[in-house]
Amino acid sequence: MVVIVLLVAGAGRLAWVECTRGSGLREQAQRQHTATLVVPAQRGDILDTRGRILAGTLRRPSLFVDPSLVEDARFAAHSVAPVLGLNPTELEQIIRTRRDRGFVWVKRRLSDRELEDFLAVRRDRRLRAFVIRQEPQRVYPSGRLAAHVLGFVGAEQHGLAGIEQSLDGVLAGKDGWRVSTVDVRRRRVHSRPADYTPPRDGAGVVLTIDVHIQQRTEYHLRNAVKEFRAHWGTALVMDPQSGEVLAMAVVPAFDPADPIPPHPDAQQREAATQRMRNRAVSDSYEPGSIFKPFIVSCALDEGIIHLDEPYVINGPTRRFGSRTIHDTHAYSTLALHEVISKSSNIGMGLVGARCGNERLHRFVRRFGFGDPTGIRLPGEHPGLVQDFSRWSGYSTQSIPIGQEIAATPIQIITAFSVFCNDGILYRPRIVRGVIGPGGETLADYSRPVAVRRVLDSRTVREFRRRALVEVVRSGTGKPAAIADYQVFGKTGTAQVARPDGRGYLSGAYVGSFMCGAPSDHPRAAVLVSLYRPSAGAYYGSRVAAPTAAAILADTLVYMQVPPELTRDQGPTGAATVSVVVARRDQGADCQHAVTDSQQLITDN
């Protein structure tokens, strides 16, 4: 009888529990013996043009807690917080106030020491509500190299700048998840295949950047910025035959793994923001004299002027209506090619008068100024070409000398490449392709994209040979001469416009130099710009030309480009350049050719 009573009472109790707390207890039991784990997708790598890793992903341990499983919040918090360097009271508060949640981060990306200490505490004190999860961490093995190109990611591994941002959708992939039965220590015991959705790893992005060229570019640019105490500097190296950007450097640089200091004040945040600007694509400025070749070459192409045509300068100053144009030297008469090589502003004023505003506007637009280039980097500025209705009589003399117009470095080097590839404007490219996690090609962007033919090939060859080469042989660009190769280019020294657009800042200049080599078949084009150098010198020929030449020399040797000058012709010789070594494709023969020619010049 007693047994029957006990059985009935037990059954009644069970029924009562089932009716009042059944669903809650079932949910609790479900939570205790199952775990839904996010399986994070692997973010894709960023590789240089030869497959070297520039950005990759590692997994680092992070700690989270399931507050609903914590029995004694005070005990748990005071056990865990000290080994992680956290405040126990704050942690206890978090656990208490978020009881309804199954997931709260305790600390992310633990160090090896913290992980070891925590595991020991968890083992000793049976803190099964605390769980380690492996979280992805972005790693940049080359440190600050190409930081402005790569960009960086935030705490949730989303790209916030550079390629990381512009190709985030490709790189990120998609997380998977797994529902598992777990034991009392939250170790996975059983997973059903139906409850597993695998992650889709992100694709890798292959850039056109070459780390060796990039490193030399940054090295030379950093030295120049330091020597001339410039606010900032930028340098670009481009393959002019295809539009591929081989190097893009901005100084000062930043560490993409740690772009903003922890807990920054307003000043530090502003400084970090300025450092992170990719000025090669985001900042435009008046180009100054490096703009002259773009106007002259178009006027030549249309037969308006001729390279041997004499221009009466009668400098160093000359009035054009109400405006006075200055030259740095007092020239009497210059042939047109000398107007370029000696960078005569008065000569360019005369060219502007011959062309007229309508043609000048067309020339400027033909080279792509005023339009974004379409390079796959975020924040590209289109530069500034004023609407034609706003051009005035001043524009006729201003535009030919690179004033009243603003251009970004990527626009300038892209336009300059037209002089290197016989007249075609290519779209600059920095992404070469996208490869899947298994190495398969998902997208191929390696083919050059021609925007338009800007100049006739004969015009380009003549202009390059007679005007741009002369700049380096006997003109303003002499400091850019290098052994073994005939460099051609153009210097520029531009005043910095006031922020309100009224006039120029006193004593503030941008010194630039754009160049290419070899002159017979250019393989590399380089642009160097230093913004507001403050160590005395500011002319482009002084602050930028030697740096551009150093970058060019390193690039050509690295690319195994055969030398161009003969033994009896120095780099600044006036004789016509002849090619001593037949052009060959890259390979062992080229290496021998380089060595042999270097030997010849050394012997001489």
Partner 1 sequence: MSLRRTVVILGAGLATLLTVVILRAETTRLQSELSLLDSRAAVLWQELRENELELARLRNPALIRARVAQMRLQDSPVDRAAGDTQPPDR
Task: List residues near partner 1 by CB under 8 A.
Answer: 52-54, 56-59, 134, 139, 141-143, 145, 180, 187-191, 211-212, 214-216, 218-219, 222, 482-484, 549-550, 553-554, 557, 598
Task: Check if the beta carbon of residue 417 is closer than 8 Å to that of residue 375.
Answer: no
CA–CA gap between residue 335 and residue 356 (Å, rounded): 20
Contact by Cβ (8 Å): 519, 472: no
Euclidean distance between CA atoms 515 and 473, whole angstroms = 13
Which parts of 477-549 are beta strand (E)? 488-497, 504-517, 524-531
Pair 532, 519: CB distance under 8 Å? no
Residue 221, SS3 per DSSP: helix
Shortest distance, position 185 Cβ to partner 1, whole Å:
12
- Of 406, 576, 583, 584, which Cα lies nearest the Cα of 486? 576
For partner 1, the closer CB: 405 or 515: 515
The residue (of 71 and 258) whose beta carbon lies closer to partner 1 is: 258
CB 304, min distance to partner 1, A: 40
Secondary structure percentages of the chain, helix, strand, coil, to 5? 40, 25, 35
Helix axes 345-355, 292-301, angle to 10 degrees: 40
Q: Map 32-44 to HEC letters.
A: HHEEEEEECCCCC
**Residue among 215 and 328 whose Cβ is closer to partner 1:** 215
Whole-number Å distance between alpha carbons of 121 and 116: 9
Q: Which is nearer to partner 1, 187 or 567 (CB)?
A: 187
Report the residue number, 57 or 234, with the smaller CB distance to partner 1: 57
CB of 542 to partner 1, least distance (A): 16
Nearest distance from C-beta of residue 467 to partner 1, angstroms: 26
- In terms of CB distance, is 71 or 183 closer to partner 1? 183
What is the torsional sign of CA 261, 265, 266, 271?
negative
Residues 400, 260: Cα–Cα separation, whole Å: 42
What is the rounded CA–CA span in Å between residue 344 and residue 329?
Answer: 8
Task: List Cα–Cα distances, 272 to 255, 259, 277, 395, in angstroms.
Answer: 10, 7, 9, 37
How many residues does the structure list for the chain? 604
CA of residue 367 relative to chain centroid, distance: 22
Q: How far is the CB of 150 from partner 1 (least distance, A)?
A: 13
Whole-angstrom distance, CA of residue 237 vs CA of residue 239: 7
Shortest Å distance, C-beta 3 to partner 1: 27
Q: Nearest distance from residue 198's CB to partner 1, in Å?
A: 12
> Is the Cβ of residue 20 or residue 591 nearer to partner 1 in the bound state?
591
Burial 23-41 (b: 16+ CB within 10 A, else e): eeeeeeeeeeeebebeebb
* Maximal CA-CA distance, the chain: 131
CB of 374 vs partner 1, minimal distance in Å:
29
CB of residue 557 to partner 1, shortest distance in Å = 6
Min separation Cβ 59 and partner 1, Å: 5
Pick the closer one to partner 1 by CB: 89 or 134.
134
Q: Cis (ω within 30 of 0) for the bond into 437?
A: no
- Select 21 or 226, whichever has its Cβ closest to partner 1: 226
Q: HSE of 24 in the Cβ direction (CA atoms, 13 Å)?
A: 6
Residue indicated by tokens 């003969």: 566
Taking the least distance from each CB to partner 1, the nearer of 275 and 318 is: 275
Identity of the residue, 94 or 481, whose beta carbon is nearer to partner 1 in the bound complex = 481
Contacts 24+ apart (CB under 8 A), 143-147: 143/255, 143/257, 144/253, 144/254, 144/255, 144/256, 145/54, 145/211, 145/214, 145/215, 145/218, 146/54, 146/209, 146/211, 146/214, 146/218, 146/247, 146/248, 146/249, 147/253, 147/254, 147/255, 147/256
Q: How far is the CB of 180 from partner 1 (least distance, A)?
A: 8
Do 95 and 70 contact (CB within 8 A), yes or no?
A: yes
Shortest CB 572 distance to partner 1, Å: 14
CA distances from 542 to 26, 401, 598 (A): 79, 19, 27
HSE (side-chain half, CA atoms, 13 Å) at 255: 7
Closest to 428 measured CA to CA, from 168, 167, 225, 245: 245
Q: Shortest gap between Cβ of 188 and partner 1 (angstroms)?
A: 4
| Beta carbon nearer to partner 1, 218 or 286 | 218
Place of tokens 């208490």: 96
Which CB atom, from 212 or from 584, has the smaller least distance to partner 1?
212
Residue 307 CB, nearest distance to partner 1 (Å)? 32
Nearer to partner 1, 221 or 346 (CB): 221
Nearest distance, CB of residue 235 and partner 1, angstroms = 14
Residue 46 or 496 with smaller CB distance to partner 1: 46
